[in-house]
Structures are given as C-alpha cells and as structure tokens.
Chains A and B, each alone.
Chain A
Amino acid sequence: MGSSNSSVNNIPNAQELMQETGFSAAHILRLHERFEFLDKHKCGQLRPQDFGAVQELALNPIGDSIISAFFSPGQETVDFASFVRILAHFRPTDRNQSRDGAQQEPANSSIRKLKFAFQMYDQDRDGKISRAELLQVLRAMLGIQVTEEQLQSIAERAIQEADLDRDDAISFDEFRKSLEKVDIDHKMSIRFLR
C-alpha cells in the first residue's frame, strides 16, 4: 500500500504516533478514517456525544464507562493522538519485543492492559477498587434483574476472595493476582489491530 504513505503524512504527528504505539501506517490511516467518521462537526476533537454515533455502545452495559475512559480526567474532548494512544492498549502483544531499559513500557504490554482495565473500575483514581466502585460495576453489568441484597453478597464475596492485605479494597496487585489464570494477552487484544 504505497499510496497510503502519502495520505498518512497528511495526519499530524503520524510518524511519532506510529513510533510510540507500534501501529503500522495502514492502521493509523484506518483509525483516522474512523475518527473522522465519529467527528461529525469536523473540529478535530471528539466529545462524549460523538460516541453516540456508535449505536451498539448504547446496548453495552458498561458503555458509559468505556466512553469516559477515552477522556483524561478533567478533559472534555479527545484528539486523534489520545484516541490512538488509548486504542494502542488493545494491540496484540509482541512476544519477541526486546526493549532497552530506558524505553517506556509499550502500551500493549500485559501490565498496561491490566492497568487500563483497573482504571475503568477505579473511577476516583485512588489506586484501589473500593466496595462502592465494585458495586457500581456489578450494578451496571447485572442491571435490574438482581436484588440489591444479591449484589451486596457478590461484592462482599469478591472482595473477600481477592483482598489479601485486608484493607477492604482491591489494589492493582490484588487485581492482577485474581486474573493470573486468564490469558490477558489473548483476552484484551483485537485482531484487527496487528
């Protein structure tokens, strides 16, 4: 795809983004097209309302959390670079990657993926998933089909199981430990992004 290279250059900071996230030129192009599709007002930034164009997100129980994950705390818009950086977390892990110590951990490593998921639970960014935050997620996923009492029992059970230092909240390490049997590289990767 030689021609795409020239159009990639139309995108600001394309080379930098490719370097940082590991996406190929074709991917950056595709993501840019998608970004422009969502950006109805053509202002180069996305607002939460713009994500409404994706109809399936409305049916998703945690759709709102996903949308807000794209926006850094306090910010109301997201530009293309941040959009790509978030999506870079879902690139399949490169097993054979060799990094020198100075380089930052790549966005699609297992740890970064887990961190992204953790931050979606931990809305107030205090580094721990409190009982209330867990309840919020459970409520979103299980909806109205379940009584409050059942939700409480499940949340209680979950914290009891995972909380090793007995501080009544789940820290990142405890979160990681409870998911050690799950193949994160496989579970949190999209084939489309290679």
Chain B
Amino acid sequence: PRSCPPGRTRGLLLLMVLVFLEGSVLPLGAASSPDVTHQANSDNHIVKEAGHNFTKKPFPVLSLDYHHIQAPFEISLWVLLASLMKLGFHLIPRLSGIVPESCLLIVVGLLVGGLIKLAGEQVPPVLDSRLFFLCLLPPIILDAGYFLPIRPFMENLGTILMFAVVGTLWNAFFVGGLLYAVCQIQPGNPSILHQLELLPCLLFGSIISAVDPVAVLAVFEEIHINELLHILVFGESLLNDAVTVVLYHLFEEYAGVGSVTVMDVFLGIISFLVVAVGGVLVGAIYGILAAFTSRFTSHTRVIEPLFVFVYSYMAYLSAEMFHLSGIMSLIACGAVMRPYVEANISHKSHTTIKYFLKMWSSVSETLIFIFLGVATVEGPHNWNWTFVTVTVILCLVARVIGVVGLTYVINKFRIVKLTTKDQFIVAYGGLRGAIAFSLGFLLNKDHFPLRDMFLTAIITVIFFTVFVQGMTIKPLVELLAVKKKQEAKRSINEEIHTQFLDHLLTGIEDICGHYGHHHWKDKLNRFNKKYVKKCLIAGERSKEPQLIAFYHKMEMKQAIELVESGGGVKLPSAMPSAVSMQ
C-alpha cells in the first residue's frame, strides 16, 4: 500500500541510480589519470611563495584535496555502485526472473566501461590479477567452504574428483590439441595463427577448461536444483583449481623452452598431488588452529568472528605463497573449523560470521561481474574469427564428451546412478568465468605474443557461457522437470532416523565383514568424539551428542520464531513443558 503508484517510484529510483552512475563514473575516470590540475596548483603555489617570501595568504576555509583520499574513495565508489546495482535489479521484477543477475551485472560493467571511455579517461585496470586473486576471490570461496554441505560432498567425493581431475585434464588437452591442429591447417594462406605453437595452445586449453566456481554459484543459486547436481557441479568447480594451477604453471614454464619431456610430465603429476594435498593440509592446519583459538574466547566474544576470517585468509595466503591450491586450502579450513567453532562461539557471533560472509561474498561476486564488463571494454583485444569460433565450439564439444564419457565409467561405481538428465545439467552447468580471464591476464606478453588473442577468446567463451547457458538453464530445468532443491528444514525425526540408519548400516557392514563407507565414517566419528572434540571444544559442550545439539538448535529457532511472529508469552499447550537447556 503506497501513496504514489509503484511504477513512478521505481522509475524515479532508476533515474537516481543512473544519475549517480554518471556522477560516479567521471571521478573514477578522472582519478585514474594523474592529477594534473592539483600539480598545476601546487606549482603555482611554489612559484608564488618563491616570489613573495612570507606573504601571508588567506586561511583556506574550504579546499579540495582529492588526491589525499583518492584510492579509498574510488574503491568505495565501486563497492557502492555494485551494491546499488544489486538493489536496482530486484526492483524490476520481471527482469530478474528472466535474466540471471550475472548477465545484468556484466552489462552494467560494459556500460560503465563505455561511459569511462566516452568521457575520454583511461579505464582503470580493474581486473588486475593481484586484486582479483587476493581480494575478490577469497570471500566467495570462504563463504562456499564454510557452508559447504559436508555429507553430500563426502558421499559424492569420488564422482566430484573424477569430474574435477580427469574431466579438466581431458578438456584442456582436447581443446588445446585440436586448436593447435586447426591453427596449422590452411598452409597456403599463412596467418598469425601459424605462429601459435603447441605448448601455448595447451596452456590456453588449460586456462579455458576449468569450470569457474563464481559463475556456477551465481547461476545455480537462482535455479534451485536438487542437492546432488548442485554439489557435483559446484564441487567440481572448486576441486579443479589444483589441476588448473599445475597445468598453468607447467605449460607456462615450458612454453618458452618449447618442449616437454616425460620427466616433466612425471614431475607434473607429483606436483599435482603436492598442490592438492598440500593445499588441503595447510587449510586443515589453520582450521584446527582457529578451532583451538575459539575454545578460549568465552570472555572476549566480540572478536570471535575475527578469528574465523583472519585464520581463513591466512590459510589462503599461505597456500598461495607456496603455489599450492589456495581454493582447496580455504575450503578445507572452513570445513574443518566449522563444527568446532560453532560449538564454541556465541549465538551472536555465529550470526555475525554468517552475515559477514554472505555480505562479502555477495559484494565480491557483484564486483567481479561488473569488472568483467569493464575489462571487456578496455581490452586489449585481437579478434580472430577462426580462433574464437573454434574455441567456443571445442569447449562445448569437449565438455559434453567429457561428461558423458566419465559418467559411463562413474556409474559403474555409484549406488545411485546418474541419469541422462543429470548428465545434461552437469554438462550444461560447466560455466567459465573471471578466473579464466585473470589467468589469461597474468600471461607475460613477451613470452606469449598472441596473449591479446587469447584474452579475446577467453572473454568470448565467458560471455557465451554466462549469457547463453546462464539464461537458458532455468527454462531448460523447468522443461526437463529436473528435481528441485527440497526445503532445507530438517525435522527431528529425520535426524533421529538418519543416525539410526547410520548405526544400522555400520553394523550390517561389520557383519558382512566389509570395510565400506559407513565403517570408516563411524571410525572417524568415534575418533572425533574421543580425542578431537575434547581438545577443540570448550567445557561441557565437548561431550554433547550431536542429536542433543540439534535438538537445542531447533528449540532455540522455534522460540525465536515464536517471538518474532508476535506470539510472545503464550506457549501452545502441545509444547513440552520442560525443556532443559544447559
């Protein structure tokens, strides 16, 4: 119930946003070019002073000193722009239903980049690789890792690893190899493509083949498919980081030399194991440190969230320092520390952590897509029809063949097989994103003269996957009637019966003499209960069984809901009269 018609209000808001955009763009552009005017002023000042020593000049009541606050101001403007865009999209109801947010944000980025260029200023190098990898990516990955649903992830770990490792390798070599072959044909009409050697092609293949977690998160968040498919595609996008890191460094290193020996391949495999396992180990160590620290925070509750963030960030940086997989380290850190930290920290800290992570990752994601748009306008571009179209086609073909082939093998080992529908969604969900672009941006122009062509092709593939696949996946999911995500609320019955079934299956496995999935899980749980929990959880809660903790959480949630809905004092008669809360 509004006083003025909703359409007018919306229109007004949009107008405000656009005006703000225009207003903010100019300082953004102006700020990047050196502050010529300020320099001129100070020069004048110096000249004046030299001429008139000790001349008393009038006290400046109001002066403009942009240079002083330039960098933080720019950053804040960008963040504000991103957040206002996010607000703006949801005011236009029909648009947010059809077009995924990521596409809209890229378009905004294109507009902003275009406006800056029109204003004649130099576009700031926003998707600078350092900024991306050190500031924009970690919040998103931490959010994903901290809230990773462990049970489905572990249950499908084999499948996820197959897709992540074998699938990415297949993609990289298929795309790289065939691209090289295509570039070598047309001998009669020599083009710059002939300069392209095999190793740079393979390097390009490895950059472009990795499924991107940011893009997957952004698109899959809106389509609400069932947990299994979500964790398969998302898990793959996270775990393929190790493969990408190794392949990237391997090919980059040897592209200069021009050949790769068997020894190098062997070292590459060892390197992959080191990168992956090392990353997870570094993350786990920091996770345990964080959990241990949180044990002693009962008197200083206010800084509890800080420990979670700082330890995780340090895990990421430490892994990056050794060229290990930073993403895997961050995921491991978040996943390891979560059960213990949550048992130790206060309810308010828990809420703080949750919302800070969501906020940072949301802003980060928005910024990344806007920057992608801006970076596209900026270039540097080198459009080559053959290269770009062949790349796009090969990426699609490689993905489909890879998924179908791997599923055929994987289904032999799975209890619940993957259907054709599942395979289609997994293949279609293989989106590329900003990580590919940043990796391409990192390439040294001296070693890779065709870097601009690579960047153009990468951007085209990103645009294609995000726009075409991103926009059509929602209607396709509806069309194919793919199972959707079920409501998250877990009932106490589910919890009781699931635990019961866990014990039952462990018992059956023991009777059969089979050391399977349940057996090891049970052993891990017992080890956890006996030793680990005692170290990492403070006080009495270390002995609390999982079921009780769950029950308490449920009761708390219900009590809060009751108050929020205005129920307040009166409890319905059916509720148990005595709930013992320790």
Contact of A183 among B416, B505, B511, B512 (CB under 8 A): B416
**Which residues of chain B from 505 to 528 have any CB-CB distance to chain A below 8 Å in the complex?**
505-514, 516-519, 522, 526
B43 at interface (Cβ–Cβ under 8 A)?
A: no
Closest to A138 in B: B496
- Determine whether A26 belongs to the interface, using a CB cutoff of 8 Å to chain B: no
Contact A150-B548, Cβ < 8 Å, known A60-B510, A87-B512: yes
Q: How far is the CA of A142 from the CA of B547 in the complex (A)?
A: 8
Interface presence of B499 (CB below 8 A): yes
Q: Which A153-191 residues sit within 8 Å CB-CB of chain B?
A: 153-154, 156-158, 160-162, 175, 178-179, 181-183, 185-191
**CA A37 – CA B293 in complex, angstroms?**
49
Of the candidate stretches B17-25, B362-370, B425-433, B573-581, the one touching chain A is: B573-581
How many residues on chain A are close to B (CB under 8 Å)? 55
B492 near A154: Cβ-Cβ < 8 Å: yes
Chain B residues near A37 (CB-CB < 8 A): 513
B507 touches A63 (CB 8 A): yes
Whether a CB of chain A sits under 8 angstroms from the CB of B269 is no
- Is A181 within 8 A of B494, CB to CB? yes
* A132 contacts the other chain (CB 8 A): no
Q: Which residues of B contact A11 (CB under 8 A)?
A: none
Chain B minimum-CB-distance residue to A63 = B507
Which residues on B sit within 8 Å (CB–CB) of A178? 491, 493-494, 497
Instruction: Tell me the minimal C-beta distance from A182 to chain B in angstroms.
Output: 6
CB-based nearest A residue for B544: A145
Bound-state Cα–Cα, A178 to B500, Å:
14
Known: A157-B492, A185-B416, A190-B508. A146 touches B500 (CB 8 A): no
Cα distance, A173 to B6, chains bound together (Å): 49
Which residues of chain B from 533 to 563 have any CB-CB distance to chain A below 8 Å in the complex? 543-545, 547-548, 551, 554
Interchain CB contact under 8 A, A161 and B492:
yes
Known: A57-B511, A60-B510, A191-B516. A153 touches B500 (CB 8 A): no
* A120 interfacial contact with B, CB 8 Å: yes
By a CB distance below 8 angstroms, the chain A residues around B493 are: 158, 161-162, 178-179
**Is A41 part of the contact surface with B, judged by Cβ < 8 Å?**
no
Question: Does A80 sit within 8 A of B, measured CB to CB?
Answer: no
Contacts of A188 in B (CB 8 A): 501, 504-505
Q: How close is B465's CB to chain A, nearest CB, in angstroms?
A: 30
Q: Is A59 an interface residue (CB 8 A)?
A: yes
A161, B490: Cα distance in complex, Å:
11
A145 contacts B545, C-beta separation under 8 Å: yes
Q: Residue B486 at the A interface, CB < 8 A?
A: yes
As a 0/1 sequence over residues 404 to 416 of chain B, the CB contacts with chain A under 8 angstroms (1 = contact) are 0000000001011
Closest to B518 in A: A190
Closest to A113 in B: B501
Q: Is A51 an interface residue (CB 8 A)?
A: yes
Assess the B512–A31 pair: CB atoms within 8 A: yes
Complex: how many Å from CA A124 to CA B221? 47
> In whole angstroms, how far apart are the Cα atoms of A61 and B506 in the complex?
11
| Chain A residues, Cβ within 8 Å of B519 | 56
Known: A153-B576, A158-B492, A186-B155. A66 touches B504 (CB 8 A): yes
B497, B516, B574, B579: the one contacting A182 at CB < 8 Å is: B497
CA distance A34 to B512 in the complex (A): 7
Bound-state CA distance A179–B496 (Å) is 10
B503 at the interface (CB under 8 A from A): yes
Distance A157 CA – B417 CA, assembled complex (angstroms): 36
B498 lies within 8 A of chain A by Cβ: yes
Query: In the bound complex, how far is the Cα of B52 from the Cα of A103, in angstroms?
Result: 110
State the CA gap A51–B511 with chains docked (Å).
Answer: 8
A120 touches B504 (CB 8 A): yes
Q: Is the CB–CB distance between A141 and B416 below 8 Å?
A: no
Interface residues as binary, B88-132 with A (CB distance below 8 Å gives 1, 0 otherwise): 000000000000000000000000000000000000000000000
Q: Which of A117, A138, A161 contacts B504 (CB 8 A)?
A: A117
Question: For the complex, is A97 an interface residue (Cβ under 8 Å from B)?
Answer: no
The verdict on A60 contacting B492 (CB below 8 Å), with A92-B415, A189-B415 known, is no
**Set A156, A162, A191: member contacting B517, Cβ < 8 A:** A191
One of B155, B413, B499, B513 near A141 (C-beta < 8 A): B499
Contact B501 A190 (CB under 8 A): no
The contact string, 1 if C-beta is below 8 Å from chain B, for chain A 101-142, is 000000000000000010011000000000000000110011
Establish whether residues A117 and B486, one from each chain, have CB atoms under 8 Å apart when the complex forms.
no
Given A92-B415, A141-B499, A183-B416, the answer on whether A192 and B514 have CB atoms closer than 8 Å is yes
B507: which A residues are within 8 A, CB to CB? 56-57, 60, 62-63, 66
For the complex, what is the distance from the CA of A74 to the CA of B496, rounded to whole Å?
29
Interface centre among A51, A138, A145, A187 (most CB of B within 10 A): A187
Q: Which residue of B lies closest to A62 (CB)?
A: B503
Beta-carbon contact of B416 and A117 below 8 Å: no
Q: Using A142-B548, A158-B493, A162-B493 as known contacts, say yes or no to A190 and B509 having CB atoms under 8 A apart.
A: yes
Give, as a whole number of angstroms, the nearest-CB distance from B416 to chain A.
5
A147 at the A/B interface (Cβ < 8 Å)?
Answer: yes
Interface residues of B in 194-235 (CB under 8 A from A): none
B417 touches A149 (CB 8 A): no
CA distance A154 to B522 in the complex (A): 23
Q: How many whole Å from B529's CB to the nearest CB in chain A? A: 10
Interface: A54 (CB within 8 A): yes
Q: Is the CB of B494 within 8 A of A145?
A: no
Would A157 and B576 be within 8 Å (CB), given that A34-B513, A54-B511, A95-B417 are in contact?
yes
Taking the nearest CB of chain B, how far is it from the CB of A141, in angstroms?
6
Task: Annotate B169-184 by CB proximity to A: 1 below 8 A, 0 otherwise.
Answer: 0000000000000000
Q: Enumerate 28 A-B pairs (CB-CB under 8 Å) in ascending A order.
A: A31-B512, A54-B511, A56-B506, A61-B503, A66-B503, A90-B508, A92-B416, A95-B417, A120-B500, A141-B499, A149-B578, A150-B551, A153-B576, A154-B492, A154-B496, A156-B576, A157-B576, A158-B492, A160-B574, A161-B491, A186-B155, A186-B416, A187-B505, A190-B508, A191-B413, A192-B509, A192-B514, A193-B512
10 smallest CB-CB distances across A and B, nearest first, come from A178-B493, A66-B507, A192-B514, A56-B510, A153-B576, A92-B415, A186-B416, A60-B507, A156-B576, A62-B503
Q: A182-B494, A192-B512 are in contact. List 15 more A-B contacts (CB 8 A).
A: A34-B512, A34-B513, A61-B503, A66-B508, A120-B500, A138-B496, A138-B547, A145-B548, A150-B548, A154-B547, A158-B493, A160-B574, A175-B497, A191-B517, A193-B512
